[in-house]
Amino acid sequence: MWPEKVVTAMALVRVLSASIELTGAYLIYRVAKVEHALRVNAVLGMVGPTILIIVTLLGISGLAGRIPPGKLLLLLSGVVLIFAGTSR
pLDDT at 68: 87
pLDDT at 1: 55
Number of domains in the chain: 1
Determine the structural domain holding residue 21 and report its residue range: 3-86
Residues in the chain: 88
Mean pLDDT, the chain, whole residue set: 89
Q: Which long-range contacts (CB under 8 A, 24 or more apart) does 53-57 make?
A: 53/79, 54/13, 55/10, 55/13, 55/14
Give the pLDDT band of residue 76 (cuts 50, 70, 90): confident
Give the pLDDT band of residue 2 (cuts 50, 70, 90): low
Q: Count CB atoms within 10 A of the CB of residue 48.
A: 12
